Amino acid sequence: MQKLNKRQTLFLQTALRLKSDCAAGVWKPLPAIHALAVHYGVSYCTMWKAVRALKKDGLLAVSQGARVRLKGAAAAAPTGDLCAQVLRNGILNGTYRPGDPMPKFDYVQHVHHLSRSTVMAAYARLARENLIHKEGKSWIAGPVPLRRAEHGPRAEAATVLMVVRNAADWNSLFNNFFLAPAITMFRGELSRADVRILPFLIEEPSAAFASMSGNLDSLRSMVRGLGARYRGAFLQEQFAPAEKLRTLVLELSAFGSHPVCYFDFSGARDDMQRAPLGLPACFYRLYLDEKTAVGHAIDALISRGHRRIGYTMLGGQSAEWMTLRLDRLRATARGTGAEILRADLTEPFWIPPWTAEINKHAAFARQLDAFMRRPAGVAGTAQSLLSITPSLRELLRAGATALVAPSDWFAQQVYLWCRGAGIAVPGDLSMITFDNTPDSEAMPITNIDFGLGHLGFVAAHIILDDIPLKIPHDGQIAGPVRVMDRGSIGKEG
């Protein structure tokens, strides 16, 4: 196969990714094609084309039943070892979380075409590695858990500190759709191990949080009070100055080698590195891989022929991250022949992200419906909708054939606007957006998933230290980026 370039189609990009993963030993043996399609975030048809391309290269073989297998040296490992590796990978990447039941022997036999004795040997091997254990007749992921009685009362349970600026930041962690996958996974994994979470407000002490807020002295006192129960800390992204973060990390790491996990939800804090700042080996930065995410978005559009791509902003009210994402989009598109067209949506018609509405797309839908139901003669037509939103109208007149929305909440509004204005998606305008929040499946908009749930899983098990994890030696952990293809990208023209 040829070297990847920006103009190649999606199935060739997927084929190169699969080839690279096979060479690295990620797939031994290969799962079914539909499972590969889910993993790489493409349709079944696209995955099948990628497999056929690698078949022509002699890397893969495909049986009559569409069963895919590696050829040559890559497939030489014993089947028992390969089966154990597949299951091990499932545990390490969170497919089988500690406490979840492992697949039945019959299922593994059928999917991987193995004998029962081979599957049993693979399970026994994982049990010796303390990756699974048996409860009754079922195999369960993770090591044997401690009984609650062995922990003692809840007040004596192992504890993780969540260090945030103020009460507003604490509340936002649990009421933000964007952060929900990471925080829910993080809390759930700790709860399974009976580890509790305590907040600490470092910048703005609150009477409501009493002893759980204050300055560094108060933080030291709290950690000392926890004693052996202290297991590590979680830091929120809003701690802007690197030197302040460094001081906080050093303070927390002074109490043994307990992990300090810094969640960089903006993906912009490349300055938080161990070596340059002199941070200890127990410091981990878990971040959103903006570069890869933007690259996937541009590749998905360019591979379908789009060269004039719009990007929406909220006029003078746009947040800093929107501007940073626009800069990265333009840098990625440079040299590909594509042009990124900025559209400043200044009309009061749009609902901003800071509105009190929880479901912003639902609020916008009500607002749009009210407009379209206005009495005849007052204007409830597609043309009238275009007339009150000149920013998007001008973007289309400028020749934009595709649109990159900065996030879910705005993509959903633009999608509804397109329907009201008689603009077909993806027939007239292709769309792609970011974040893949829990409510994003409400509309068929192709989305970039940052792997926040995976980051929450990894952070929890770094602290629990109960299963082996694949962590870069520098402690910089990026969420796995995936394209969630929901059919909103068509061919240009």
pLDDT at 215: 80
Query: What is the CATH code of the structural domain delimited by 80-141?
Result: 1.10.10.10
Query: What integer pLDDT is reported at residue 470 of this predicted model?
Result: 84
Position 150 confidence tier, pLDDT thresholds 50, 70, 90: very low
- What are the tens digits of pLDDT across the range 151-165? 444 557 899 999 888
Note the CATH architecture for domain 156-289+455-478.
3-Layer(aba) Sandwich (3.40)
Alpha-carbon dihedral angle through residues 254, 255, 261, 264, given to the nearest 10 degrees: -40
Q: Which two tokens stand for residue 97?
A: 């979380």
Q: Report long-range pairs for 49-55 (Cβ below 8 Å, ≥24 apart).
A: 49/11, 49/15, 50/11, 50/12, 50/14, 50/15, 50/18, 51/15, 51/18, 53/1, 53/11, 53/12, 53/15, 54/1, 54/15, 54/18, 54/19
Give the pLDDT confidence score for residue 338 in this predicted structure. Answer: 93
Q: Strand pairing partners for 340?
A: 309
Reply yes or no on whether the pLDDT at 403 is more than 90. Answer: yes
Using an 8 Å Cβ cutoff, are 292 and 478 in contact? Answer: yes
In the chain, where the domains are located = 10-75, 80-141, 156-289+455-478, 293-449
First to last CA, the chain: 28
Q: How confident is the model at residue 75 (pLDDT cuts 50, 70, 90)?
A: very low
42, pLDDT greater than 60: yes
Which phi and psi (to 5°) does residue 156 adopt?
-100, 10
Would 156-289+455-478 and 293-449 be classified into the same CATH topology? yes
Count CB-CB contacts under 10 A for residue 275: 8
Q: Distance from CA of residue 81 to its chain's centroid?
A: 30
Provide the mean pLDDT of the chain: 82
pLDDT digits over 249-299, tens only? 888 888 888 999 999 988 888 888 999 989 999 999 999 999 999 999 999
Length of the chain: 493
Please say whether the beta carbons of 308 and 401 come within 8 A. Answer: yes
Q: Give the strand pairing for 482-484 and 446-449.
A: antiparallel
Q: 3-class SS at 349?
A: coil
Q: What is the pLDDT of residue 437?
A: 85
Using the predicted structure, report yes or no on whether residue 2 has a pLDDT greater than 80.
Answer: no
What's the pLDDT at 352? 62
Mapping DSSP to helix (H, G, I), strand (E, B) and coil, where does residue 99 land?
coil
**Exposed, middle or buried by CB within 10 Å (0-12, 13-18, 19+), for 272?**
buried
Reported as type and span, the H/E element at residue 435 is none
Q: Under CATH, which architecture does the 10-75 domain have?
A: Orthogonal Bundle (1.10)
Query: What percent of the chain shows pLDDT beyond 90?
Result: 30
CA dist., res. 460 & res. 453, Å (int): 11
Band of pLDDT at residue 77, cut at 50, 70 and 90: low
Give the side-chain half-sphere CA count within 13 A for 101. 8
Q: What is the pLDDT of residue 1?
A: 47
Structure tokens at 336: 């590909």
Q: Which amino acid is at 408?
A: D
Q: Which percentage of the chain shows pLDDT scores above 70?
A: 83
Q: Which two tokens stand for residue 425?
A: 């998606």
Domain 293-449 matching CATH 3.40.50.2300: the answer reads yes
Which pairs count as long-range contacts for 101-105, CB under 8 Å and 24+ apart, including other chains?
101/138, 101/139, 101/140, 101/141, 102/132, 102/138, 102/139, 102/140, 102/141
Query: Tens digits of per-residue pLDDT, 329-358?
Result: 999 999 899 999 999 888 877 766 555 455
Q: For residues 44-60, give the mean pLDDT.
A: 86
Instruction: Give the span between the Cα atoms of 266 and 246, in whole angstroms.
Output: 18
Q: pLDDT band at residue 92, thresholds of 50, 70 and 90? A: confident
Rounded to 5°, the CA angle 191-192-198 comes to: 15
pTM score of the predicted model: 0.74
The neighbouring-strand residues paired with 69 are 61
Which amino acid, one-letter code, is at 484? M
pLDDT number for residue 232: 93
Burial 178-199 (b: 16+ CB within 10 A, else e): bbbbbbebbbebbebbebeebb
In this prediction, residues 44-65 reach a mean pLDDT of 82
